[in-house]
Amino acid sequence: MKNVLYIIGLSLILFIPTPNYAEKIAVINVNEIFQKIVTKQAVLKQLEMEFKGRLNELQNIEKDLQIQEKKLKENIINNKDKDLQSFEAKKADFLKKINQFQKDNQLRHKEEHNRILQTIKNATKAVAEKEHYDIVVDVSAIFYPENISNFKNIADLVINKVK
């Protein structure tokens, strides 16, 4: 009885079709693509222009506070509590503005970074479909880098597609 079950099991294994495995595998280096695409430089310039006004305002406030602090230190004997409180209030307001500026700046950089990554993802998908690749893997996800040469690197095609 065991032999019959063994033979039936073995014959089932031999005659059941196996799933199709990925035959065409490509690799990309997302970081390399991100650094090379022109879009990134344009976005950085755009963000710089977007925050330039606020940055100039903060720099002017900082200069004014430094001048005011210098005056307060020079006239330490003649200072009034009102002047010190005013200075401390301006300094606290300045620090709040800096923190908000940094948060806004980081948020916008993150938004644009994600937008660029989405563009890279869409371009990669389009190239993979056009070239009939079954799987596209980021280089950083490969555990055995010495085997990378076995895969087609499509980073240049993706960069061209993004441009």
For 47-75, what is each residue's pLDDT tens digit? 999 999 999 999 999 999 999 888 877 77
pLDDT band at 93 (very low <50, low <70, confident <90, very high): very high
Quote the percentage of the chain above a pLDDT of 70: 79
Q: How far is CA 50 from CA 69, 78, 85, 109, 110, in A?
A: 30, 43, 33, 11, 14
Do 158 and 120 contact (CB within 8 A), yes or no?
yes
Whether pLDDT at 126 is above 90: yes
Half-sphere exposure in the Cβ direction for 143 (13 Å, CA): 0
125 versus 11: the higher-pLDDT residue is 125
Place of tokens 């222009």: 49
Quote the percentage of the chain above a pLDDT of 90: 33
**5-58 residue pLDDT tens:** 556 654 545 555 555 555 788 888 888 888 888 677 788 889 999 999 999 999
On average, the pLDDT of the chain sits at: 81
**Domains of the chain (ranges, CATH numbers):** 22-162 (3.30.910.20)
What confidence score (pLDDT) does residue 135 get?
A: 85
Point out the least confidently predicted range of 63-67, 102-106, 137-141. Answer: 137-141
pTM above 0.85, yes or no: no
